[in-house]
Amino acid sequence: MNNVLINGVRTYGINSFEEIINYAIKTPTILIAINAEKIFNATDDTRKIINNNIGYPDGIGAVYALRKKGVPQIKRIPGCDLWLEIIKKHEKNKSFYFVGAKPDIIEKTISKIKTDFPSITILGYRDGYIKSDHEKDELIADIVKKKPDVVFVAMGSPRQELLMTEMFEKHKAIYQGLGGSFDLFVGMVKETPRFFQDNGLHWLYRAIQQPFRIKRHKALFLFFFNLFFTNKY
């Protein structure tokens, strides 16, 4: 898979869900969704985590940046779809562990997953409100003991990436950070309409729906300014 550095963040040009899934199955790694905000706000610590794993173009900003860097044949890979594609393709031959969201959301997620994918093997799950190092150590110990093939962590960045890095050091598997994907999966958050998705306007729909995230939208505009009007990237 081709990859380039964008503000020091290694981002892979992906052609399909199959390409990234097949790679991860052969080479267990942490799958990290890359968007304009993560690139713009990158620190030495977040760059190190991303660059040691697989950063895929989840946001349209990452797609534009890859194309500007000379990687034209790529596809936007929404993380909220990727995890479900992994389950669809491997529910019968891989085991899974789920971490994240509020207690009621993770319960609804697991219930819906069992209904939608009746052949799935779920080795464990818990909410994302880890209140102490003791709770974190218990979680990691449980993962080490049960040895799932795939671990999904929905806690938001950079918390989920930091936790997955600790988990990966103790147990090699496929890890994917999911942000708010469990909330979307169970219908607590509205899915972006197809028109906005197909035209690279997912960010605009979120801005309309969640104006309180204005600081995040500012980062998006500054990212595009740097991408097209400066030599920073």
Residues 69 and 84 in one domain: no
As given in the structure block, the two tokens for residue 125 are: 């799950």
The CATH number of residue 165's host domain is 3.40.50.10660
Residues 87 and 53 in one domain: no
95 shares its domain with 25:
no
- Whether residues 43 and 89 fall in one domain: no
User: Looking at the structure, do residues 38 and 121 belong to the same domain, yes or no?
Assistant: no
The pLDDT value recorded for residue 214 is: 57
Check whether residue 86 and residue 177 sit in a common domain: yes
For residues 56-72, average pLDDT? 92
Distances (CA, A) of 51 to 11, 17, 58: 8, 20, 16
Q: 169-198: per-residue pLDDT in tens?
A: 999 999 999 999 999 999 976 666 666 556
Q: Count of CB atoms within 10 A of residue 24's CB? A: 22
Query: What's the confidence (pLDDT) of residue 196?
Result: 58
Q: Residue 73's pLDDT band (boundaries 50, 70, 90)?
A: confident
111 and 202 inside one domain: no
Answer yes or no: is pLDDT of 210 > 70: no
Among 98-112, 150-164, 190-204, the least confident range: 190-204
pLDDT digits (tens, 9 = 90+) for 191-208: 666 665 565 556 555 655
Q: How confident is the model at residue 136 (pLDDT cuts 50, 70, 90)?
A: very high
| 179 and 137 part of one domain | yes
CA distance 167 to 73: 33
Q: 9 and 69: one domain?
A: yes
Q: Do 84 and 142 fall within a single domain?
A: yes
pLDDT over threshold 60, residue 39 = yes
Number of domains in the chain: 2
Lookup: tokens for 218: 């500012």
Note whether 113 and 122 are within 8 A (CB).
yes
Domain range for 46? 1-77+193-233
Picking from 73-82, 93-102, 139-148, which range would have the lowest pLDDT averaged per residue? 73-82
- Same-domain status, 3 and 44: yes
Residue (of 82, 85, 3) closest to 50 by Cα position: 3
- Select the more confidently predicted residue: 228 or 120: 120
Strands in the chain per DSSP E: 3-6, 9-12, 30-34, 54-57, 95-100, 121-126, 150-154, 174-177
Work out the mean pLDDT of the chain and round it to a whole number. Answer: 91
Exposed, middle or buried by CB within 10 Å (0-12, 13-18, 19+), for 12?
Answer: buried
166 Cβ contact partners less than 8 Å away, ≥ 6 residues apart: 136, 140
Structure token digits, residue 230 = 């400066």
